[in-house]
Every structure is written in structure tokens, then in C-alpha cells.
Structure 1
Amino acid sequence: MFSFVAVVCGWVGVGVDKLLGQPSNLESLGALIFISSPILCMVLLRLFGGDGWKDLPLKPNFRRNARWYLFAIVVYPVVIGITLFVGKLFGWVDVSKFSIAAYFPVFIAAFLPQCLKNIFEESVWRGYLTVKVEQLTQNEWLVYLVVALVWQVWHLPYYLILLDDAYLASFFPFGNVLFVVTSFAVIGVWTIMYTEIFFLSRSLLLVVLMHAMEDSLNPLISDGFAVMSPDKALLVSPSFGLIPLLLYLVIGLWLRRIRKSSARCS
């Protein structure tokens, strides 16, 4: 039931916008339907569908998870920093407009709203879907697959219709077909990393912070602090480039190895 609602709600929202004769964008009723439907479905299933609230991982576990909180805060800045450094080294990225003094206020202004947004999003993807799929199978590769597919298909109307075309093109200027293929790979790799850090920490707050850090770094590109050569975006785009994608894959598999080793020791 939840997965069905998640994969169709965005398209239902777009259809509602068309019926009302209004454009589909992030301020439309369709966007509200897209954003709110998964969390509303989760709440209803927990309240009335027998799922309950006991497995919602609300405890932050700060002491036990200190190193993982540090990881959540630094992983995106480090990977994106490496990516942009490589891009600058080869002349693919212009960072002449970037300075910490100029970017820090932009980051802070973005971070708090993104934390709020990701409380809702991560309550759904890690706090509900990942937990429920894990209860059905001990095969973590199947957990990755199911969560990644639902998470990505939910995103499609956002990327293809609700999000401004010019904004998306600043990150990935190669058209919708290649974007859909690439974004499936990105969400798949991210799902491994998010799932493993969640399994290691069992903390919803931790993945909220990590996701908020990623979203708060988007203005590096969208606000022109770093400008990519369009023909190199497939390599160095912080969100969709091959370089960060490979780094996130290595990190996700490293986290998986740590978790497996810890399980054997215990």
C-alpha cells in the first residue's frame, strides 16, 4: 500500500494541477500532494494499519553514534570538495566566485529549512520503508533494491515536471532521458550509503542531518559559486556526476563492511 501511494502520488498531483488549469511547480497543489502523501500514508498505516510506532527510530543515541554523526556532517562536504577540486585541477570547474565568507550565510539559510524538510522525508524512507522491508527480508541487497526503486520513482515527477528546468539543467544539462537513467544510478548508490549508516546508527536524526547537509550544498551550483563546463557535468556534477557517484559507492560498501564485521564480532 505505501509503495503504491509513493509511486503514484506525484503523478496524481500533476493531474490535479492540470484539472485546475494551473502550472505544476513547487508552489502548486500538485507539489503539496507529492510531498505530503507518503508521510500521510505512513502515519495512517502506523495509526490504523497495525504497523504501530515501536520501530520508529527516534532515539538519537548521541554517545554510541558520535563518530557516525561526524560522518553524517562531513561526508557530503568532503566528497563534493574532492569532486570540485578535481574539476578545478582539470579546468572543468570555475570556483573563482567561491569563498567561505560568501557561501556560509547561504548554507546556514538553507540548512535549517532542509532539516525540517528531511524530517518528513527520512521518516518515510529510512524510518518507515527501510524498516519495514528489513522486517520482511534479511537480504540487504533486496532492501537496497526495493527502497531505491520506490524512492526514485517517487522523485520522477519532481525532477521531470515540478522542478524548474533551468535549475535542473544547472546540475545536469543532458536532457530527460539520460537524466532518468543517471538518477536511477545515483539513487541506487545513495540508498546503499543511507541504508548502511542507518543500520549502523539506528538513528533517524542522523540521516536527517546527512540529507540536510547534501541539500544545503546545492547552492554551490545553483547560485553560481561553482560553475561547471556543461560537457563535463556528467563527471563532476556534485549531485549526478560519475566522480562523486563512485566515491559514494565506495563509502556505502565500506559502511556495509564495517556493519558486517561488527555483527560477526558480536
Structure 2
Amino acid sequence: MSASTATRPARTRTPRPASWRNVTFYAVGVMVLSVLGALTLAGAQDKATSPGALLFVLSPILMAVALRTLGRDGWADAGLGIGRERGWYVFGALWFPVAAAVALLVGALTGHVHAGDGGLPLFGTLVATGLVARTLFALFEEWGWRGYLEPRLQALGVAGLRRHLAVGALWAVWHVPYILAMGSEYTDVPLALQVPLFTVAVLAMAVVLGVMRARTGSVWPAVVEHGVANAVAFALLDADVVRIDSPLAFAARPESLVVLPLLVLTAVVVWRRWGSDD
């Protein structure tokens, strides 16, 4: 081996600076996969566990991994460490369960919410058995929304609130093909009403999760919040846990008329207290 060969530096693939091209590829890619997933699950017997549903939920992480590797965006800003300000983990774990509890309490006091035959024991069982899967699905989403899109937009100079709302807008629209394909299996509320309410809820959640991502520097508090929220919500949709006469008002869902204002109020408070335009 010659001296010149021995001292030659190793060739490495340096990450490219953030680009609008890759962000556009990401947005278009997740929407294409969402639509393909919805078209595939539309004719499935068991829609919730069909390959189309899996493609839908995997689309954010698939596009993020593709652009961080093949697109050479790198992993430096993916937020895979534990992060700082770890109190946000506690906040994330409690935020939606508290909002859901308020909705159910108001419903119970007004006579629209009733305990099911299984009650609290069944609720605990469903949350415990579903938490790992729901958190895994949340990871598939959050590695895309808060793990890829948030930091890439920040690197492009998009200010905090605009960035969070932009991520939330894509997050909301990404859900629409799935919601339409699931139809009545997704919600009893007319879709013309459910989709706008759900969009507002997602925008509010995106602001809070975006602030959490910025304050901690980590994607994991958002994964915790998303996973716990889904585990609690799906458990409370079981009629053997709780029966809800007026789901539009009192269901433990982001778009219900009691939960939604609580989410929006939280977003306003969190942004004003802890948000930043950086």
C-alpha cells in the first residue's frame, strides 16, 4: 500500500441541506401511499387489519426513511434521543386521557354517558393489551410528522406556528382517504361534519406536539402522547366499556364537541407559554 493510498480520507455520504424538493416528495409520497392504502382496504372484509390499512399507517415512516437514506437527508435532526425538558413526557401521557375523562364526566352528569357491562376493569384490560400496538402505530406516524417533516421545515426557515400548522394540515388531509374508505366503521357522525371537526382537532394537536418536539428536541414525547391517546380512545369506543348516547358531543375522540374545545384551548395555552418562532 502506497503512502498516498494509506492517507487518503474515506469517502462518506454527507447529508444534503434541507430542500423544498425533498419536503415536496415527502408530502406527495405520503398522500399517494394513503390513497393506495385506502383503495386497497375499501374492498377488504376486515378493513382495520387489511394490508391497505397497514400501508396507510406505515406511509409516514416509509417516506421518512426513504428520504433520510436514499434522499440523503441524513438522521442528524431526526430527534431519536430522549431529549431535554422531560416533563413533556408526563404531559403527553396525560393530555388526551384528561380531555376524554372530562367529556365522559360531562356526558354522565347530563345523562348521555352510561357505564358498560365491563366498566373500568375492561377499560384497563383493553388499554393494557392495546398500548404496545397503538404506540407502535404512533411511532410509524410520528417518525414522519415530528421526526422528519417538522425538523426539515425548521431547517428551511419556516417559523414555529406556521410549521406546526403546515404539518397538521398534511396530517389531517392524509387521514381523509382512510376515513372515507372506512366509512361507518370509522365514525357514526356524518362525514361532512366529522372531517372538518377532525381537521381542527388535528391542527390543535399538531401545534402542541410541534411545541413538544421543539422544546425537547426529541420525537419520543409525541410518540408517547399519540400512542396513549389512541390506546385510551379505542378502549373507550367499546360499548362494553361505556355507552354514549350522543357520540358527537361526548365521545372520547378528538373531534367530539367537548374534547375539541379542550384541545384547542390547550394548543393556545401551550403555544403562548412555550411556543417559539424559531
Pair in the same fold by TM > 0.5: yes
Residue aligning to 1:57: 79
Q: Deviations over 1:125-157 (max 9, x none)?
A: 110111112222342232123111211111112
How far is the alpha carbon of 1:223 from its aligned partner?
A: 4.1
Task: Tell me the amino acid that sits aligned with residue 45 of structure 1.
Answer: L
How far is the alpha carbon of 1:114 from its aligned partner?
A: 1.2
Which residue of the other structure, out of 61, 66, 69, is the alignment partner of 1:47?
69
Task: Tell me the amino acid that sits aligned with residue 8 of structure 1.
Answer: V
Equivalent residue of 2:48, what SS?
coil
Residue aligning to 1:3: 27
Instruction: Return 5+ residue gaps in structure 1 as ranges.
Output: none
Which residue of the other structure, out of 226, 229, 253, is the alignment partner of 2:268?
253
How far is the alpha carbon of 1:66 from its aligned partner?
A: 3.4
Say if 2:229 is the partner of 1:209: no
Distance 1:22 1:89 in 2: 40
Which residue of the other structure, out of 45, 48, 52, is the alignment partner of 1:30?
52
**1:1-266 alignment runs, 5 A limit:** 1-15=25-39, 25-61=47-83, 64-95=84-115, 97=117, 99-161=119-181, 163=182, 165-166=184-185, 168-169=186-187, 173-217=188-232, 218-230=234-246, 233-239=247-253, 240-260=255-275
What is the total number of aligned residue pairs between the two structures?
252
Equivalent residue of 2:69, what SS?
helix
Equivalent residue of 1:26, what SS?
helix
In structure 2, the CA distance between the partners of 1:160 and 1:15, relative to structure 1 (3 Å rule), is closer
How far is the alpha carbon of 1:253 from its aligned partner?
A: 1.9
Higher helix share: 1
Task: Tell me the amino acid that sits aligned with residue 58 of structure 1.
Answer: L
Task: Tell me the amino acid that sits aligned with residue 222 of structure 1.
Answer: D
Instruction: Return 5+ residue gaps in structure 2 as ranges.
Output: 1-24
TM-score, scaled relative to structure 1: 0.85
Contact residue 80 and residue 219 of structure 2 kept, 8 A: yes
How far is the alpha carbon of 1:23 from its aligned partner?
A: 5.7
Q: Deviations over 1:36-88 (max 9, x none)?
A: 33322211111121311000101113xx4332111111111111111111111
RMSD of aligned alpha carbons: 2.4
Contact residue 118 and residue 241 of structure 2 kept, 8 A: yes
Contact residue 93 and residue 227 of structure 1 kept, 8 A: yes
TM-score, scaled relative to structure 2: 0.82
Distance 2:231 2:216 in 1: 22
Report the structure number with the largest CA radius of gyration: 2
Distance 2:252 2:141 in 1: 21
How far is the alpha carbon of 1:234 from its aligned partner?
A: 2.5
How far is the alpha carbon of 1:96 from its aligned partner?
A: 5.1
How far is the alpha carbon of 1:179 from its aligned partner?
A: 1.6
